[in-house]
Amino acid sequence: MTVTRTPAKHFQPLAIGAPEPFRTLPVRLERMIHFVPPHNEKIRAKLGDMIKKVDVILGNLEDAIPATEKEAARAGFISMAQEHDFGSTGLWTRINCLNSPWALDDITAIVASAGNKLDVIMLPKVEGPWDIHYLDQLLAQLEARHNITKPILIHAILETAEGVNNIEAIAAASPRMHGMSLGPADLAASRGMKTTRVGGGHPDYAVLADAGEAGAPRIAYQQDLWHYTVGKMVDACMAYGIKPFYGPFGDFSDPAACESQFMNAFLQGCLGAWSLHPSQVDIAKKVFSPDPAEVDFAKRILEAMPDGTGAVMIDGKMQDDATWKQAKVIVDLARIVAS
C-alpha cells in the first residue's frame, strides 16, 4: 500500500521541459475542464465520444445540480468513472462545498468506489487553508483504507472574498494542491458586485475616452472585470508551484466574448478554463494552445541565444535573457501540446 500526505514527491520529474513552477505536478494538458452533469443519462451515454475530445472530464456534483438530484449525480459519477477508460484524459469531480449536507458522502463514496480512477477533486467556495487541510486529511485516511495507489489532488475554486483574501495560504496549504480556478459568479455575489453575468465583461464597467469635438459622442472602452483577480491568482499559484485556471463563461450565445475572456486569462498565465457547453471545448483548445506564429518567433529567440544569455536583435526587437525565458515558456507549452 502506498499512502502519503505528500503526493508531489510521487511524481516523476518531467521528461520534457515545462514551465518552471510545474516541475512536481504531472505533465498533462488541461486546456479545458469539461463539466458534465452525471445524473443526466443522455449525457452519460455520449461520454465515450467526449472523453476523446477533451483534456479533462469533470463530473459536477455542486451548483447547477438540483438538491433533489445530488445522490443521483454522485451515483452517476461513480458509474461513469467505473465504466470508462479515460486514457490520457483527466477525470475530476466538483464535490459539494464542505458545509453542505452532501460533501462528506461525496468524498467517502467517490474515493471508496472510484478513488483509483480519480485525478482531482475540485473544492468549491474555499475560504482558507483550513478547508484544504480538512480535505487533505480526509483523503489521506480514505486512501489508506481503500488502497488508493495514486494520491488524489485538490483544486480550489477561488470564489469568495475571504478566499481571495487568503489566497496565498490556500495555494500553500498542501502538497496535494493541483491549482485554482476563478469562480466569477459566486465571487461576484460574495463581493456584492452588481452583475448577474457568469464571467466576462460588463458594458457599464468602462472608461470614457477624453472629450473630443464639442457635440461628438465620447467613446467608452469596456474594461476586464476579472483582471485584478486573475492576476492575483496567477501570482499566488506560480509562487507555490500550482496551476492557475480561468473558470466558467456563462453566455453560450457569445463565443467571441468567451474566446476573449479565455484569451485574457491565457495571456496572464492561466493554463486552461472550464467548458460548460460542448461549443466551448474548441474555443478553449484554440486559446490555450500557443499560436504557431508566436511559437516560431519564440524558437528563433532560443536559437539566437543558445545559452540563454546576452542580447540580440530579431526583426528590430531587442531580445535578452528575460525574453529568452518568455520564449521558453511558449516553446515548452508547444512541445507539450504536440506530444
Site residues, ligand GLV (CB under 6 A): 63, 157, 159, 183-186, 198, 247-248
Of the two residues 94 and 285, which places its CB atom closer to Mg ion in the complex?
94
What does the alpha-carbon distance between residue 234 and residue 191 come to, in Å, rounded to a whole number?
A: 20
* Residue 248 contact, options ligand GLV, Mg ion, none, Cβ 5-8 Å cut-off depending on partner type: ligand GLV
* Residue 247 contact, options ligand GLV, Mg ion, none, Cβ 5-8 Å cut-off depending on partner type: ligand GLV
Of the two residues 187 and 301, which places its CB atom closer to ligand GLV in the complex?
187
| Alpha-helical regions (H) of 174-291 | 184-191, 227-239, 255-268, 279-287
What residue has cell string 459539494?
96
* Smallest separation (angstroms) from ligand GLV to the CB of 274: 8
* Residue 290 contact, options ligand GLV, Mg ion, none, Cβ 5-8 Å cut-off depending on partner type: none
* Smallest separation (angstroms) from ligand GLV to the CB of 183: 3
* Residue 131 contact, options ligand GLV, Mg ion, none, Cβ 5-8 Å cut-off depending on partner type: none
Of the two residues 183 and 201, which places its CB atom closer to Mg ion in the complex?
183
Contacts to Mg ion by CB under 5 A: 159, 183, 186
* Smallest separation (angstroms) from Mg ion to the CB of 125: 7
* Smallest separation (angstroms) from ligand GLV to the CB of 259: 18
* Smallest separation (angstroms) from ligand GLV to the CB of 144: 31
* Smallest separation (angstroms) from ligand GLV to the CB of 192: 15
SS3 content of the chain, % helix, strand, coil (to 5): 45, 15, 40
Of the two residues 27 and 56, which places its CB atom closer to ligand GLV in the complex?
56
* Residue 55 contact, options Mg ion, ligand GLV, none, Cβ 5-8 Å cut-off depending on partner type: none
32 three-state secondary structure: strand
Backbone angles phi, psi at 220, to 5 degrees: -105, 125
What does the alpha-carbon distance between residue 217 and residue 36 come to, in Å, rounded to a whole number?
A: 46
- Amino acid identity of 68? T
Number of residue whose CB is nearest Mg ion: 186
Of the two residues 90 and 183, which places its CB atom closer to ligand GLV in the complex?
183
* Smallest separation (angstroms) from Mg ion to the CB of 124: 6
* Residue 200 contact, options Mg ion, ligand GLV, none, Cβ 5-8 Å cut-off depending on partner type: none
Is 123 buried (19+), middle (13-18) or exposed (0-12) by CB count in 10 A? buried
Of the two residues 157 and 283, which places its CB atom closer to ligand GLV in the complex?
157
DSSP result, 129-173: HHHHHHHHHHHHHHHHHTT--SPPEEEEEE-SHHHHHTHHHHHTS
Residues 6+ apart with CB under 8 A from 246: 181, 182, 199, 226, 230, 261, 262, 265, 270, 272, 273, 274
Of the two residues 175 and 183, which places its CB atom closer to Mg ion in the complex?
183
Of the two residues 136 and 159, which places its CB atom closer to ligand GLV in the complex?
159
142 in Cβ contact with 112 (< 8 Å): yes
* Residue 282 contact, options ligand GLV, Mg ion, none, Cβ 5-8 Å cut-off depending on partner type: none
* Smallest separation (angstroms) from ligand GLV to the CB of 37: 14
* Residue 184 contact, options ligand GLV, Mg ion, none, Cβ 5-8 Å cut-off depending on partner type: ligand GLV
What does the alpha-carbon distance between residue 58 and residue 155 come to, in Å, rounded to a whole number?
A: 12
What does the alpha-carbon distance between residue 268 and residue 332 come to, in Å, rounded to a whole number?
A: 17
Cα 67–118–99 angle (5° rounding)?
35
